[in-house]
Amino acid sequence: MPAALVRYDLDARGVATITLDDPATRNALSDRLLDELIGRLGQARADGSVRVVVLTSSDDRVFSSGGNLKAFANDTPTVEKYVGLDRFPRIYRLLGQLGKPSICAAGGDVLAGAFGLALACDLIIAREGVRFGCPEINVGVFPFMISALIYRSVPRARANELMMTGSLISAAEAERLHLVNAVVPGEQFAAEVDRWAGLIASRSPLLMRMGKNALDATRDQPLDAALAHLQGQLALAFATEDIKEGVAAFREKREPRWSGR
């Protein structure tokens, strides 16, 4: 059996760490790596003990170099390439429908298709010095699959600049554009990612799942439809034991004890 390209670890807090681990290719998003990533995300979604997912890389220089360029130019029939490209939207949808928050720990450059992968996560923590962008156009490829995610995250003119020039932006610029939640010095990066993960894992997993699902369901809905859906979800939340426990713990000045009901 070949070594896994994606590692999975779950700690006692409910933090599931999914690590891209193919340094020989700079974590290129090959079909095999994407299939393993889909499997691990599905595992995290199905496991009720998982409270937050951290997506990271074993390579401190690059989170991922993006799509496998060799596969783009090989002789595989076009229809097979089309079918295989379904892996990208499946992963983006999986992250949206995970039922628990996801953090992209960008400890290295986040390029091309991996930029879309990061934007599909709920939160991004970046190490100082890393770069983000979609340089595909430099080798004759347009970032088709991730353009929808970029347009939903980056102001239009800047999004066009990134996709049409292939230029990269620094972590500091990504923070100014509100693409990342925090930029952290290298020596503090691992500890800060762990702090964010632990903080989120300490929240009610039930209410977090309900909230995450509501965000995914209403993200692209018209305002009236979104408000109607959210009203129903809030009414359901009022019926949970966790919301009662959270209010009681606040009043009693103690840590809440979540039951997940």
Three-state secondary-structure class, residue 73 = coil
Structure tokens at 27: 């974590």
- 80 noted as active-site residue: no
pLDDT digits (tens, 9 = 90+) for 177-233: 999 999 999 999 999 999 999 999 999 999 999 999 999 999 999 999 999 999 999
pLDDT reported for residue 168: 96
Dig out the tokens for 234 from the structure. Answer: 């809030």
Q: Are 105 and 56 in contact (CB under 8 A)?
A: yes
Distance CA 86, CA 83 (A): 6
Set 80, 136, 173, 192: catalytic member: 136
pLDDT at 78 over 80: no
137/76: higher pLDDT: 137
Question: What average pLDDT is seen over the chain?
Answer: 92
Average pLDDT over residues 139-165: 93
Give which of 89, 27, 66, 71 is closest to 168, Cα–Cα.
66
How far lies 93's CA from each of 9, 14, 125, 214, in Å?
22, 22, 21, 14
Given a cut of 70, whether residue 123 has pLDDT beyond it is yes
